[in-house]
Amino acid sequence: MAAQTSSHCPDWEQLEAVFSADEPNPALSKHLDACLSCRERFAELRANNQLLQDVRAASRTWAGSPVESDVDVCRTSVPIGGYELVGEIHRGGQGVVYKAVHLATRRTVAVKVLAEGRLALPARHQRFQREIEVVAALRHPSIVTVYDSGLTADGRLFFAMELVDGLPLHEYVGKTAPRPSVPLPIDDALPLLCAICDGVNHAHQRGVIHRDLKPSNILVDVDQCPHIVDFGLAKAVGDESVIRQQSLVTAAGQFMGTLAYAAPEQFRGDPNAVDVRTDVYALGVILYELLTGRLPYPPSTTLSDTIRAITDVDPPPPSLSPSASSTGSAHRPPSGLNDDVVTIVLKALAKDPQRRYQTAGALAEDIRRYLRGDPIDARRDNAWYVFRKTIRRHRLPAAILSVFVVLLLAFGVGMSLMYRRTKLEAEKARQIKVFLEDTLGSVEPTAHGAEVTVPQILDEAVHWVEIALRGQPEIEASLRTTIGNSYRTLGLYDAAESQLTLAFEIHRRLFGQEHPLVAQSLNALGALARDRGDYDRAVDLIQRGLAMRRLLLGDQHFEVSVSLQNLASVFVRKADFASAEGLLRESLAVRLRLLTERHADIAMSQFQLAEVLRNGDHLIEAEELHRSAYQTRRTLLHDKHPDVERSLLALARTLMARGLWDEAEAMLRECVDRQRRTPRGDRSRLAEARGELGFCLASLGCLEEAEPLLLESYDHWRTTVGGENATTVEARRRLVSLYEQWGRSDLADRYGG
Amino acid sequence: MLTRTTTSFLLSAMADHRNQDGWLEFDSRYRPILVAFARRLGLGEADAADAAQEALTRFLTALREGKFNRDRGSVRSWITGIARNCIRETHDRRARRREERGLSALNELPADENLIQIWDEECHRSLVQHALLELKEETHTDPKTIRAFELLALQGRTPAEVSQLMGMTRNDVYLAKHRCLTRLRYILDSLQEAYEMS
């Protein structure tokens, strides 16, 4: 053989030419096959050229310009029988992937070669061999097809696979997203993940678990089709010998998977705990990341902390980051993720595999249900949810829908509590369901059309309660409480008083003087008295409810924290901030002991405490608490939830107090816009937002624009709560001040007198 | 030139308040990496220098308070954790300043899962830079060889240009390149051993 090859050893220039040549040099290749010394020189040259890239990168400074490369070190001529290697695609932990041409078929393929040749450990070889066997058995558009496998000339394992012209998922997202770190639009992310799930499901059905799913193992081609690669950790389900060897954290502490995508069970050291649902978890992490641009558990300072987070801490519900919300999908509200999507993601990320989707196919199917507008499976156990979803699917008029949603919200809390209680409670829940259906059915869309209002629906509800619930006083009281609270939040105080009083009387009749439900009624009546501005009565009622709850439930009970908060809110209205602050701190402390940190009720406590601090001129702390509460609410609640707007309004007030008028003005305009967009919404809240915007504009000197806002606000308070109410007085003071500023003494006198 | 003292030995030396040399060596090893790391995570030059200073101070304090336990994690995970917190705090401070001016306060910190990878890249880059310096400083490589290597590898000249500039044959130019790179690999290996990276 040697006689047929070049008899002289090539010099360095000639060896370099092998790297840079477009065409392989058959004579040199043959010489290399025959000459050990040249093979060693060639190996050295290859290692040197690899280092050269690093040296060039290191020699660039931050301000400096890159040095142009005149040698393509990716070129290689590692001999592999039947293939011509034309470039290096990727260098990873397991091996190097080359672009190559299969000489017999001229097909361009990707060839993966074990990186460290003879130095590789036997375990690594076994893993590689298994990878080849496993992937070759799979045929699916979302899985990279394997064509061939074998040994290179120097005894290294390789396999040839479909060459995907695409980018790893993380790079694809980086290029597709409007800016780096901004996630994919939801309308792109969900179908993409479905296609990935389909591929994984195909593998699962053939007994193959990937075990190392992550964005860098998923290539996305120009048609946005994903292709899963690197089944390096895959194993056949039930293959005991493999299972024993493949515990994620091996005895040597070598971490084979990638931490962020590893499921909790992968840390338990029980190889049998790893099954198809481990991949479902990784898909959940990928989905979370696609939607939010963040990982559910960002790597912490230490490995053990990160593992602890994955195994013990609930992930924060996915939400769009502020940067994403401004560039989100054109088809959906950009500021928050739909509840269904959040539910799907959290179900895929459940710590207990039993609570996860049981297959990747089930995850894909639920996403498709969501995309079709059908009820998702993850919430099948919630009848109310399914009912609402069905109605939406049938496209009822928007007015009816909004009414329905309001009612659902009003009942939501009570319902969830009831489900946990006894059979009687279940019956109660069923009654309420019938009540909702009947009430909705009784509102004829054609008869009322767009004029259907929430008060009308509530009036229908009262009528229904009176007719249908005779002889079922407990359910009647429960519904009257809900309806009364709804009237109260709508500013319809007389109607609210009548419903809440009836509920209180029923509770007293049924349960006597001291009972949690009696306390609940006292609290509700107290809140109503507070909203009417009758603070003494409010304090009396709520304190009685609080004392009853402390006695019956103990100090460390959530209901106690509710009473504390309500009581504090009265003191706030009375401007007794010192009393309020003490109560709120106790309430917040109780909640922090009972709830997780990111919880709507914690946000409520922070909100109220911030309000008190704002009034006490502790503006920096107030602003911090408000921003925190606002963020939590934006994350946890849907975009139109009134608490989101309350937070926005309060934050704007804090900013005004700090003299940051411009930012406050923008927020207040958003508040007013939100209220205007809510048909027949809470008029008191609209009046409040308008009053604040008017005040802000007046302070900025925009008197003409401020006047109608302050006037409308004052009129609202005067007619709803009366001229002597503190809110009305304040609204009038602001109006008078505006006129004085304007030089309109006639008008100032008229309202001032 | 960096010593070949291992990181483990440096840490034990630094735990002693009187040992300044250990600390200086550690500082010259890790400060450039910390600065580059902070810059990769979006900080400007001055902020990155401050964050690196803060991270080193906290590292030393924690070390001397006995808070670092090798069994619980590597030096790398520990120092990246500290650095990440310092960088995040700088980002947050800047965001608050922006907010106070009524500007957008978006945090531009890249995804956390890349932190270790970014750290490793910067660590490697720093070692290569040290290795390049050592190559230039050491006496047993001919300055002409090093110059040819710099022209070819770092300044992007073609072999023909270097050959002409230096009065060497083209093969000698390639030979110079490979001598330097082989030497660099050797230096790099010994540095990695000292850093306990391998």
User: For A243-294, how does the pLDDT look when each residue is reduced to its tens digit (9 = 90+)?
Assistant: 333 333 332 233 333 567 888 887 766 666 778 899 999 999 999 988 888 8
**Would you tell me which residues 86-125 of chain B have a C-beta closer than 8 angstroms to some C-beta of chain A?**
100, 102, 106, 108, 110-113, 115-116, 124-125
Digits of tens for pLDDT over chain B (198 positions)?
677 778 777 888 777 777 777 787 888 888 889 988 988 887 777 788 888 888 988 888 888 888 777 666 778 888 888 898 888 888 887 777 666 655 544 455 555 667 888 888 888 888 888 888 888 877 667 888 888 998 888 888 888 999 998 889 988 999 899 989 988 998 888 888 888 765
The DSSP-derived string for A27-77 is HHHHHHHH-HHHHHHHHHHHHHHHHHHHHHHHH--SSSPPPPP-S-TT---
Q: Tell me which chain A residue has its CA closest to the CA of residue B68.
A: A302
CA distance A180 to chain B (A): 8
CA distance A70 to chain B (A): 7
Q: Which of A9, A55, A70, A700 to mutate to test the interface with B (most CBs of B within 10 A)?
A: A55
Q: What is the pLDDT of residue A133?
A: 73
- Other Cβ atoms closer than 10 A to A699: 17
For the whole model, what pTM was predicted?
0.38
The rounded distance, in Å, linking the Cα atoms of A737 and B80 is: 57
* Residues of chain A under the 70 pLDDT cut: 1-7, 19-24, 59-78, 91-95, 114-132, 134-135, 154-155, 176-182, 231-259, 268-272, 298-306, 320-336, 379-458, 460-461, 464-465, 467-470, 639, 678-682, 753
The rounded distance, in Å, linking the Cα atoms of A460 and A438 is: 10
Residue A752 carries which side chain, given as an amino acid letter? Answer: G
What are the C-alpha distances in Å from A405 to residues A429, A441, A457? 17, 15, 12
Q: Tell me which chain B residue has its CA closest to the CA of residue A180.
A: B110
Q: What is the pLDDT of residue A109?
A: 87
The rounded distance, in Å, linking the Cα atoms of A157 and A114 is: 6
Torsion of CA A334, A679, A610, A317, to 10 degrees: -30
Q: What is the pLDDT of residue A332?
A: 38
Q: Quick check: A499 and A458 in contact, CB under 8 A?
A: no
Partners of A220 in beta bridges:
A167, A226
CA distance A471 to chain B (A): 58
Q: Is the minimum CB–CB distance between A446 and chain B shorter than 8 Å?
A: no
Q: Is the minimum CB–CB distance between A180 and chain B shorter than 8 Å?
A: yes
Domain spans in chain B, listed from the N-terminal domain onward: 1-113, 138-198
Nearest to A70 among B78, B125, B158 (CB): B158
Burial of A49 per CB tally in 10 Å (0-12, 13-18, 19+): buried
Coil, strand, or helix at residue A226? strand
- CB spacing of A67 vs B154 below 8 angstroms: yes
List of chain B residues whose C-beta atoms are within 8 Å of the C-beta of residue A299: 112-113, 115-116
Residue where the block lists tokens 């050291």: A269
Coil, strand, or helix at residue A346? helix
- H or E stretch at A110: strand A107-114
Q: What is the pLDDT of residue A231?
A: 65
From the CA atom positions of chain A, what is the Rg in Å?
34
The DSSP-derived string for A441-507 is HHS-HHHHGGG--HHHHHHHHHHHHHHHTTT-HHHHHHHHHHHHHHHHHTT-HHHHHHHHHHHHHHH
**Would you tell me which residues 270-309 of chain A have a C-beta closer than 8 angstroms to some C-beta of chain B?**
289, 293-295, 298-304
CA distance A157 to chain B (A): 24
Instruction: State the CATH architecture for B138-198.
Output: Orthogonal Bundle (1.10)
Q: Is the minimum CB–CB distance between B46 and chain A shorter than 8 Å?
A: no
Nearest to B185 among A47, A260, A323 (CB): A47
Residue A630 carries which side chain, given as an amino acid letter? Answer: Y
Reported as half-sphere exposure (CB side, CA atoms, 13 A), residue A540 has a value of 5
Instruction: Please give the CATH number for the structural domain made up of B1-113.
Output: 1.10.1740.10
Exposure string over A19-34, b if 16+ CB within 10 A, otherwise e: beeeeebeebbbbbeb
Nearest to A13 among B82, B154, B174 (CB): B174
Residue A177 carries which side chain, given as an amino acid letter? Answer: A
Coil, strand, or helix at residue A509? helix
- CB spacing of B113 vs A295 below 8 angstroms: yes
Residue where the block lists tokens 């009853």: A548
The DSSP-derived string for B85-136 is HHHHHHHHHHHHHHHHTT------PPPGGGHHHHHHHHHHHHHHHHHHHHHH
- CB spacing of B85 vs A56 below 8 angstroms: no
- CB spacing of A48 vs B115 below 8 angstroms: no
- Other Cβ atoms closer than 10 A to A500: 27
Nearest to A304 among B73, B171, B182 (CB): B73
Q: Is the minimum CB–CB distance between A624 and chain B shorter than 8 Å?
A: no
Structure ipTM: 0.83
The rounded distance, in Å, linking the Cα atoms of A295 and A217 is: 16
- 3-state helix, strand and coil shares in percent for chain B, rounded to the nearest 5: 75, 0, 25
The rounded distance, in Å, linking the Cα atoms of B7 and A626 is: 46
DSSP A90: E
Both structure tokens of B194: 């000292």
Q: Is the minimum CB–CB distance between B75 and chain A shorter than 8 Å?
A: no
The rounded distance, in Å, linking the Cα atoms of A571 and A529 is: 13
Q: What is the pLDDT of residue A431?
A: 59
The rounded distance, in Å, linking the Cα atoms of A654 and A650 is: 6
**Would you tell me which residues 129-148 of chain B have a C-beta closer than 8 angstroms to some C-beta of chain A?**
129, 132
Q: Is the minimum CB–CB distance between A54 and chain B shorter than 8 Å?
A: yes
Q: Is the minimum CB–CB distance between A749 and chain B shorter than 8 Å?
A: no
Q: How many helices (H) and strands (E) does chain B have?
A: 8, 0
